[in-house]
Amino acid sequence: MTDTTLNAPSSPIGRPSRSGGRAARHAMRAAPLSDDKRPIRPGMSGGTFRPLSDADVARIHEAALTALEDIGLADAPPSGVAAMTAAGALLGDDGRLRFPRALVEDMLAIAARNITLHGRDPQFDLHLSGTNVHYGTAGAAVHMVDAHGREYRESTLKDLHDAARLVQNLDNIHFLQRPLVARDILDNCEMDYNTVYASCSGTMKHIGTSFTEIDFVHPAVEMLHMIAGGEAAWRARPFLSNSNCFVVPPMKFATESCLVMEGCIAAGMPVLLLSAGQAGATAPAPIAGAIVQAVAECLAGVVYVNSIAPGHPAIFGTWPFVSDLRTGAMSGGSGEQALLTAGCAQMHQFYGLPGGAAAGIADAKLPDMQAGWEQMCSNVMAGLSGLNMVYEAAGMHASLLGFCLESLVLGDDLLGQAMRCVRGIEVNDDTIGLETMRDTCIGGPGHYLGSDQTLGLMETEYVYPVVSDRTSPKEWDEKGKPDLLTEATARKDAILAGPSAAAFDPQLDAAIRARFKIHLPTGD
């Protein structure tokens, strides 16, 4: 666009015509940007929001160490007791393992840092270090939200596969951790390995899942070897991690989950050490106290992992949740939840460990205005706090009981705006732009619409939503008054109408189906 265009005769309402400018802007947006010029991308650095002072962080750390020394954790399996006591933990007469400070410090010194969670396609690798931020799904919803019918139904394996396929195509959702349970598969072992199949055949991004029992890990790992092209290829680039609720708050190990974790570590699988107490119920009611307990439990997990396999990749998964103390019900969409998650991010950074926590949960039952403010509040605060892995960031409703595909699509737009907040404001000679200001105001057109600076920054500085509406009321009316939910459904349907970009080679798929009872029909 040239200055001649901008100085064209005014329109009837007295403003310069912008038709040429709009065409130029649309043409620029149609051209793909290289990764280094994209306004947002996975792994951008946050950390500008710090709800805890340095003194607060130190007090929480000291309190967690005291809790580990004085209270300890109960119910570790014999194998875990053997490994941790060999490293220096103390088994009391009451059956509780206690952790001297020196032991915790020694294990922190050898714990994995700066880890990479691989995708099946290397372009989706997630580099967890510092305050790099990644948004993704998670949870174990047992219902699907029918946003148009305003109803809930049981979730299925096909729903999980559809979610994976959508995540593959949504740029601002960086990983898929299983967000729902395939309730149409009654056998738990079959459900676990079918979850792996449905997820891996839906997306090439990193995947997280859980396993019900230790014996169910082995068939899933066998399938992963087949998908990777052999055990060596799998171990070189493990593209699936184990989400492991290794503790049952308050301050007890989850015996069966610990055995699963040991099996996953032996298989070369990264683990998420997940502590999910609920403030006021299974964790202390004060926000600070809930963080203390979660930190203590995850530090015990660090000792556990590194006493078995020093330096094994593990994510410090402090996931304390909030209760509505009037009813005792979970309140994942609250401001208190946003603060909890941001405070946990600071503790991850204090230890220098890759960390993850929950955000983006809606208590709202449908993708409505309440869901929007609940999801945006905690997602933005999590990103600004520099949380490495923001779990449950899109699609979750009814405090994790429901999952919605339309909400997943809407979440892609929402997370794009959140990541723009994470990126922050660059201040330099170019962005201050005094020369452009001078040229515009003195002898120039009096506006910045056609300046080289504006055109150069349109795609590198600004993020444009895909489904949300920014038209004028007149344009909106001319387009038939599109509804946001209808637009999200249209995008969902368009993605799912095509083939899966992560579909297995037909020979590999046939081999998997010959070895395992796959419940997803061929071609889905």
Q: What is the mean pLDDT of residues 210-231?
A: 98
The pLDDT, as a whole number, for residue 456 is 83
> Which is it for the CA torsion 220, 222, 227, 231, positive or negative?
positive
Kindly state the tokens that stand for 8: 């064209």
Question: Residue 453: what pLDDT?
Answer: 87
Strand partners, 389: 134, 356
**pLDDT value at 153 more than 80:** yes
CB 348 within 8 A of CB 341: no
User: Strand pairing of 90-91 and 44-45?
Assistant: unpaired
Q: In this predicted structure, what is the pLDDT of residue 38?
A: 86
Q: Which residues of 83-122 are buried (b: 16+ CB within 10 A; e: fewer)?
A: bbeebebeeeeeebbbbeeebbebbbeebbeebbbbbbee
Q: Which tokens hold the place of 303?
A: 């000792």
pLDDT digits (tens, 9 = 90+) for 419-434: 999 999 999 988 998 9
What angle, rounded to 10 degrees, do the helices at 101-110 and 78-87 form?
A: 90
Specify the 3-state DSSP secondary structure of 136.
Answer: strand
Q: What CA–CA distance (Å, rounded) separates 22 from 487?
A: 22
| pLDDT band of 14, cuts 50, 70, 90 | very low
- Residue 21 scores a pLDDT above 80: no
pLDDT of 36 > 90? The answer is: no
Query: How much of the chain, in percent, has pLDDT values that exceed 90?
Result: 87
pLDDT digits 0-9 by tens, 479-507: 999 999 999 999 999 999 999 999 999 99
**pLDDT value, residue 5:** 34
Give 323's pLDDT tier (boundaries 50, 70, 90): confident
pLDDT at position 32 is 63
- Burial category of 63 from C-beta neighbours within 10 Å (exposed 0-12, middle 13-18, buried 19 and up): middle
Confidence band for 22, pLDDT divided at 50, 70 and 90: low
Strand pairing report for 44-45 and 132-135: antiparallel
State the angle between helix axes of 217-228 and 506-515 in degrees (0 to 180), rounded to the nearest 10. Answer: 160
- Rounded-to-integer distance, Cα 279 and Cα 273, Å: 18
What is the structure's pLDDT at 414? 98
C-alpha–C-alpha distance, residues 231 and 497, integer Å: 34
In the chain, DSSP finds a helix count (H) and a strand count (E) of 20, 20
For residue 523, the SS3 value is coil
Query: What would the pLDDT profile of 66-117 be if each residue is shown by its tens digit?
Result: 999 999 999 999 999 999 999 999 999 999 999 999 999 999 999 999 999 9
Give, in order, the Cα–Cα distances in Å from 213 to each of 139, 174, 177: 18, 28, 18
Residue with structure tokens 């929007």? 372
The pLDDT-based confidence of 30 (bands split at 50, 70, 90) is low
Which pLDDT belongs to residue 458? 85
> For the segment 371-419, what is each residue's pLDDT rounded down to a tens digit?
999 999 999 999 999 999 999 999 999 999 999 999 999 999 999 999 9
Question: At 162, which helix (H) or strand (E)?
Answer: helix 157-169
Q: Model confidence at 20, in pLDDT bands (50, 70, 90)?
A: very low
Give tens-digit pLDDT for 161-213: 999 999 999 999 999 999 999 999 999 999 999 999 999 999 999 999 999 99
Enter the tokens of residue 467: 């489904």
Q: Which of 39-48, 252-261, 435-444 has the highest mean pLDDT?
A: 252-261
At the second CATH level, the architecture of 78-423 is Alpha-Beta Barrel (3.20)
pLDDT in tens, 343-372: 999 999 999 999 999 999 999 999 999 999
CA distance 242 to 265: 9
| SS3 labels along 200-246 | HCCCCCCEEECCCCHHHHHHHHHHHHHHHCCHHHHHHCCCEEEEECC
CB 341 within 8 A of CB 393: no
**Which helix or strand (DSSP H or E) is residue 198 part of?**
helix 188-200
What's the rounded mean pLDDT across residues 35-60?
93
Percent of the chain topping pLDDT 70? 94
Render pLDDT for 297-314 as a digit per residue (tens, 0 to 9): 999 999 999 999 999 999
Position 16 confidence tier, pLDDT thresholds 50, 70, 90? very low
* The model scores a pTM over 0.75: yes
Output the CA angle 148-154-155, nearest 5 degrees: 90
Give the pLDDT band of residue 24 (cuts 50, 70, 90).
Answer: low
Task: Give the angle 444-448-449 at the CA atoms, nearest 5°.
Answer: 115
> What residues does each domain of the chain span?
78-423
Calculate the average pLDDT of the chain.
93
